[in-house]
Structure 1
């Protein structure tokens, strides 16, 4: 949603050097808004062997700002990012969970630290290049999915609240990605064909295992079947996530079919990685989940019995579910169809059609149906 009636208010655009934020700045400028840009550096490059090209991105952002004719401010939020995002990222992996730092970065950096710095510059509003929309209703502000269903980023913004939505513009939320690139090319932006960023910035293109092992000491343990048979050794539960089929190092196990192996369960207490050869193994399938650290954009949790749609990962079609319980920071959802690889530490995000209601951090689900330790203790571990 692009608002009108704010022509005298300074807006600061979060400019990353990518095409989405660049076109967001262009669209705001075309409306005649008093405008400035801000480039955020969230990671110290000397700790990354140069794999996160912050300086190149800053140069791209500066080139766009110069072409539009606005000031670009630079801010280093590396300390805030380390304390409020990266430390929690590590804590979650130490606990055997699989976190989503992009969601935490939006909450702690882009819509808190960045917003504070924009206000220090005298800004009343901010704008970002997220593919989402905002709508004002009699009951408050709503966060809507972006028009481009393939680029919708509402999953990553479910932690936003009324105050943030009231002062934020999302200029590309109404556009398909192809139109955004066309607008950038027409404006002469060198970033019009720049590749979209993928993965986690502080990891970049480097080996994930090698990066994580720099901060958390690996603890090897058994790889077992649900029946308790030992197949090999994992190098650390932190390197694996539910449903994973790559990087297990147990191909061609004698006595088993020549078929892929999948991570079924991580037993944190016993440091055991359970695997199986069924893509939809019963241990991977869940009809319900519980989540904590919930946040509801309207400020009010949906009532028990409310039909909703939910996503347990970003690249997933919304799944029909019913709210069994919500409130006091907790959520319990029951799905119409079993969901595969519901992963503790990831976020479940809840929708009512195109409206993002909120969500929480997955704690547990109803799979595996029987305790893995029972299977191990009663199984053949020879």
Structure 2
């Protein structure tokens, strides 16, 4: 639907189109490679804040889009309508003579409901043309507004959970509809002993409890070998093998389109890190490599640092 504010058209969205197919393909490919992707992040990047945004502005005459994410930006609402709509550059680097006032993505006022993690891959041009009306409100206050407006049916609905295009279905049953079973062994990280078998490494993520038939005590996934199909497990939830303090990214996505000046000049920068929604921010040191990838060295090791989640 669309509506007007001060003669400016805003389009709101809560859908996924056929463009979700590439996102779903990527989702399956990542699992086949042994990683654990976050399709909600990709759905925002490729669909809501790309195809939907472009369609709204190019075809429907919208001046901006508004979403229900709990997030804020460094721009006031009126600034959004004054921004020129400049699509992201199709080349590796943008025109160095192009002048822009970069918009920052900021945490919501409600830290518990903050959804900036899911918006971490959207483009600068999308951020410049997006309103987040709920960013300065708490969820409880939004519910109060809804109750006063008579939207009681909305208040009774359960909050959406699970992966956007899967929902609350059984994950194992769902994924096995698309990927062939790849049987392998559960192998103890302690002594290399085979403890049981599984239907596929893609059914498990690091840190997850591995329910192994015949064993009463809990074992947890430490690592996976896609080549052999082995899943390595540890006998307790805080086993040292579950903790990591170093990761390397693929080429980084910078919301400002370019790395921070401090990182470019010094090749290192103090920062904070998280790889899951609602995870506490962890201090780290970034190191910028010549190929655009980044090393993140964590001040303190964290449990179940999972490839594909960052």
Taking structure 2 as the reference length, what is the TM-score of the superposition? 0.84
1:185 paired residue among 147, 170, 173: 147
Cα shift readout 1:305-326 (whole Å, capped 9, x = no counterpart): 2111100211310000011225
**Which residue in the other structure is 1:231 paired with?**
195
Match in the other structure for 1:340: 303
Q: Residue 143 of structure 1 corresponds to which residue in structure 2?
A: 105
Change in CA separation of 1:162 and 1:86 when aligned onto 2, cut-off 3 Å: same
Q: Which residue of 2 aligns with 1:100?
A: 38
Q: Which structure carries more strand by proportion?
A: 1
SS in 1 for 2:253: strand
Name structure 1 gaps, 5 residues minimum: 1-5, 17-39, 43-76, 253-258, 348-382
How much does 1:239 deviate?
A: 0.5
Once residues 339 and 180 of structure 1 are traced to their aligned partners in structure 2, the CA distance between those partners, rounded to angstroms, is: 34
Note the aligned Cα RMSD (angstroms). Answer: 1.7
User: 2:172 & 2:27 partners in 1: Cα distance?
Assistant: 14
Is the CA contact (8 Å cut-off) linking 1:301 and 1:326 kept in structure 2? no
TM-score (normalizing by structure 1): 0.69
Query: What's the CA shift string for 1:26-74, capped at 9, x where partnerless?
Result: xxxxxxxxxxxxxx2x3xxxxxxxxxxxxxxxxxxxxxxxxxxxxxxxx
How many Å separate the matches in 1 of 2:163 and 2:49? 18
Query: Following the alignment from structure 1 to structure 2, what is the Cα–Cα distance between the partners of residues 268 and 331?
Result: 24
How far apart are 1:184 and its partner, in Å? 1.0
Q: Which aligned segments of 4 or more residues in structure 1 are displaced greater than 6 angstroms?
A: none
Task: Give the corresponding residue for 2:26.
Answer: 88
- Cα 1:156–1:201 change in 2 (3 A) is closer
- Structure 2 residue matching 1:228: 3-state secondary structure: coil
Counterpart CA distance in 2 for 1:215 and 1:198 is 21
Question: Does residue 288 in structure 1 map to residue 252 in structure 2?
Answer: no
Residue 218 of structure 2 corresponds to which residue in structure 1? 260
Q: Deviations over 1:330-357 (max 9, x none)?
A: 111011100111111111xxxxxxxxxx
* More deviation, 85-94/203-212: 203-212
Aligned partner of residue 296 in structure 1, secondary structure: coil
5+ long unaligned stretches in structure 2 = 77-99
Structure 1 residue 109 displacement after superposition: 0.7
Aligned match of 1:374: none
The question of whether the paired residues in 2 share the 8 Å contact of 1:295 and 1:329 is answered with no
Correspondence for 2:213 among 238, 241, 249: 249
> Could you tell me whether the CA contact under 8 Å between 1:134 and 1:143 is conserved in 2?
yes
**1:105 CA displacement:** 0.2
CA drift of 1:139 comes to 4.7
| Match in the other structure for 1:126 | 65
Q: CA deviation at 1:276?
A: 1.0
Mapped partners of 1:146, 1:274: distance in 2: 39
For the residues of structure 1 that align with 2:126 and 2:290, how far apart are their CA atoms? 22
2 CA distance for matches of 1:246 and 1:180? 39
Query: How many residues get paired?
Result: 275
